[in-house]
Chains A and B, each alone.
Chain A
Amino acid sequence: MPDNISDSAETSHVAHPAYLRHHFNSVEQQADSTHFAMWLFLLTEVMFFGGLFTAYLIYRNWYYPAFVSGSHQLNVIWGTTNTAVLIFSSFTMAMGVWCAETRRRKGLVLCLSLTFIFGLVFLGIKAIEYREKIEMHHVPGFHYSLQSFLDPESNPEVYQEYHDKPLALDMAQHTELYFSLYFIMTGMHALHMIIGIGILAFMIFRARAGAYTSGHVTFVENFGLYWHFVDIVWIYLFALLYLISRH
C-alpha cells in the first residue's frame, strides 16, 4: 500500500507543469479559480468607486450651478489627451496579454513597457493639471479662493470660452465641494495607476526573463483586468468631471 501511494504521487508529479499548484486538479481549474477571484476583487473596487460616484451624483444635482462653474475650470484638452493616453495603454496591455498567450517574449516586454510609459504620461499630465489647480487656489482648504466663481471675468481664459455668470456666495462656496470630489476621485484613480505602474515594472523585469511566455499567463491576464478596470473608471470620471456642460 505505502508503495502504491508514493508511486502515484511520483507519477502525478511528473505529469503536471511546475506552475500547477497541488490543490488544483488541472491548469484549467487553477486558471478559472484565479480569474474568478480577480473578478470578485474588481467588484469590490466597483463598489468602492461606486460610492464616490453616487456621492458625486447627489451633490451635482443639489448644487448644479457650482458644479458647472467648477467643471469649466478644468482643461478639456488635457482631459481628452489623458483619456486617449489611457485608452492606448489599455490597448498595449491587451496586446501584451496576447503576446503572453502566444509566447512572444520580446513582444510582451515591448507591450508592457509601452503600457508603463503611457501610465507615466497619464500621471505627468495629471500633475500638470493639479499644479494649475494649486496655482489658481482651487484646492479645497484654507487657501481655497472663490474669486473665479464670484467674479468669473477675473479669469479671462475660462471666461472667454464659457461666459460664466457670477455665482451667489452660498452657491460659490459649493464649488469647494466639487473640487473636493474632483481631488478625491482623480486622486484615488491616480493611486490605482501608481500601484499598477509599480506592478508593471516588476512584470517587465520578470517578462524579460521569460516568466510569462512558457504557458503560465494568469498573472499577466489578471493584471490586464486590473489595468482595464482603472481605464473604465477614468472613462466615467472624464465624462462626469470634465464634460458636465461645456456649451
Chain B
Amino acid sequence: MSEPNEHAHFIVGPKTYVLILIALLVGTALTVWASFVDMGFWNPVIALAIATSKASLVVLFFMGIKYSSKLTKLTVFAGIFTFLILVSMTLTDYFSRAWGSW
C-alpha cells in the first residue's frame, strides 16, 4: 500500500468519546429533572434546548463534523438551515391563522 494514497484524516480518540458520553448522560438526567419542575412556558423551551445541545455534541464529536472538511460542514449547516426554514415557516403560518379559534 502506497503512502500518498493512504486515507489521512483526523482521528478522534477515546478520551473525547468518553467525555461526550458523560456529557450526554448528564444532559439526559438534567432534561428529565427539568420536566418535573413547573416552569410554565419555559418547560418545552428548556427541553428542546437540552435536546439540541445533546444533538450538537453528537453531530460535532461522534459524527466528527468538528474535524471534517469545509464542504461537509457547509452541507450539514445548509441542510439544517433549510430544515429550520421549512419548519418555522409552516409553524408561523399555522399559529398566526385564526388566533384562538382552533
Q: Take A98-B11, A243-B47 as given contacts and tell me if A91 and B35 are in contact as well, using a CB distance cutoff of 8 Å.
A: no
B contacts with A: majority SS: helix
The answer to the question of A90 belonging to the interface, with a C-beta cut-off of 8 Å to chain B, is yes
| Contact A32–B69 (Cβ < 8 Å) | yes
Report Cα–Cα, A70/B79, bound state, in Å. 32
Question: In the complex, which range does the number of interface residues on chain B fall in?
Answer: 35 or more
Chain A residue at minimal CB-CB distance from B44: A244
| Contact B21–A17 (Cβ < 8 Å) | no
Residue from A57, A83, A218, A225 in contact with B91 in the complex, judged by beta carbons closer than 8 Å: A57
Residue from B12, B17, B75 in contact with A43 in the complex, judged by beta carbons closer than 8 Å: B75
Which B residues, 10 to 35, have Cβ-Cβ distances below 8 Å to chain A? Answer: 11-14, 17-18, 20-21, 24-25, 28, 31-32, 35
The answer to the question of A205 belonging to the interface, with a C-beta cut-off of 8 Å to chain B, is no
Report Cα–Cα, A83/B51, bound state, in Å. 11
Chain B residues contacting A31 (CB-CB under 8 Å) are 7, 9
Chain A residues contacting B12 (CB-CB under 8 Å) are 94, 98
Q: What sequence of 0s and 1s flags, for each residue 203-223 of chain A, a beta carbon within 8 Å of any chain B beta carbon?
A: 000000000000111100000
Q: What sequence of 0s and 1s flags, for each residue 222-247 of chain A, a beta carbon within 8 Å of any chain B beta carbon?
A: 00110011011001101110111111
Chain A residues contacting B1 (CB-CB under 8 Å) are 17, 215
The answer to the question of A101 belonging to the interface, with a C-beta cut-off of 8 Å to chain B, is yes
| Contact B5–A239 (Cβ < 8 Å) | no
Chain B residue at minimal CB-CB distance from A93: B62
| Contact B58–A98 (Cβ < 8 Å) | no
Report Cα–Cα, A61/B100, bound state, in Å. 11
Min CB gap A234→B, angstroms: 10
Which B residues, 40 to 93, have Cβ-Cβ distances below 8 Å to chain A? Answer: 43-44, 47-48, 50-51, 54-55, 58-59, 61-63, 68-69, 71-72, 75-76, 79-80, 83, 86-87, 90-91
Min CB gap B9→A, angstroms: 7
Report Cα–Cα, A17/B6, bound state, in Å. 9
Min CB gap A98→B, angstroms: 6
- List 21 A-B pairs, Cβ < 8 Å: A15-B5, A17-B2, A20-B5, A27-B5, A28-B9, A35-B72, A36-B71, A39-B79, A57-B87, A84-B28, A90-B62, A95-B17, A215-B6, A215-B7, A225-B63, A232-B58, A235-B51, A239-B31, A243-B35, A247-B35, A247-B38
